[in-house]
Amino acid sequence: MESHTLPTEHPIYHEIQSYHLENPGQGDHAFQVYIDLSETRGWYGLKLHYCNELNCVFLSGKSPIIKGRQIVLPVTTNETLSQRDMQKYFELLAKDESDIREITLALCDVDSTLVYYKISNHIVRPEDPMDTELKKKKKYERFRNAQSDLPHYVDQYYHEQK
C-alpha cells in the first residue's frame, strides 16, 4: 500500500517555513517549483537557499539536459522586476557560483501554472541558422517515424484486445 505525504509534511516545506519569509506565498511557490523540478523535470542535486538581503528563497540544481548548476528563482506573475532588480539578483544569488551567468525565473501563477524563463547577464549569441535548421529536420524526422509506426501500434493494440 502506498503512503502519500501531504505537502506540509515534506522536509523541504518545513525548511522553507523556517525562513519566516515576509511573503508566505513566496514559500509556497518555492515548494511548488522544487516539486516540479525534482519530480516532473528530473533535476538532481537540488538545494534550497535563502538570501537574507532579498528575503527570498531560491533553488539551485542540475538539469538532466543542461550542463552545470542552474539557479532558479520563484516569482509570481504579478511581480514587477526591473533591470536593477535582475542585476541585484545576479550579484546576490550567483555570488557563490562563479560559473553561473544565467538565472531561471520560475513564474508562478495563482492557478499553479509554472513557466520557466531564462535570464542572462550577458549577450547570448543566437544559434547558427544551419544548426537550427538541422534540429528542425531531425525533429521532423522523429515525428514522421513515429507517425509511420502508428498503424503498427494500432493493429497491435487491436489484436491484444481480442
Structure confidence by residue, pLDDT tens digits, 66-124: 888 899 999 988 888 888 888 888 888 777 666 677 899 999 998 989 999 998 877 77
Res 108: pLDDT? 93
Would you kindly state where each structural domain of the chain is located, as residue ranges?
Answer: 7-120, 125-162
pLDDT given at position 30: 92
- Which secondary-structure segment (H or E) carries 45? strand 44-51
Any idea what DSSP says for residue 7?
G
Question: What CATH number has the domain spanning 7-120?
Answer: 3.40.1350.10
Report the mean per-residue pLDDT for the chain: 84
Query: What's the whole-model pTM score?
Result: 0.72
Could you give the count of Cα atoms lying within 13 Å of 80 in the half-sphere of its Cβ?
1
> What pLDDT was estimated at residue 31?
93
pLDDT score of 33 more than 90? yes
Residue with the bigger pLDDT between 11 and 147: it is 11
The burial of 129, by beta-carbon neighbours within 10 Å (0-12 exposed, 13-18 middle, 19 or more buried), is given as exposed
In terms of Cα–Cα distance, which of 45, 126, 116 is closest to 74? 116
pLDDT number for residue 1: 40
Q: State the pairing for strand pair 102-108/69-76.
A: parallel
Confidence of residue 52 (pLDDT cuts 50, 70, 90): confident
pLDDT tier at 53, thresholds 50, 70, 90: confident
Mapping DSSP to helix (H, G, I), strand (E, B) and coil, where does residue 126 land?
Answer: coil
21 pLDDT above the threshold of 80: yes
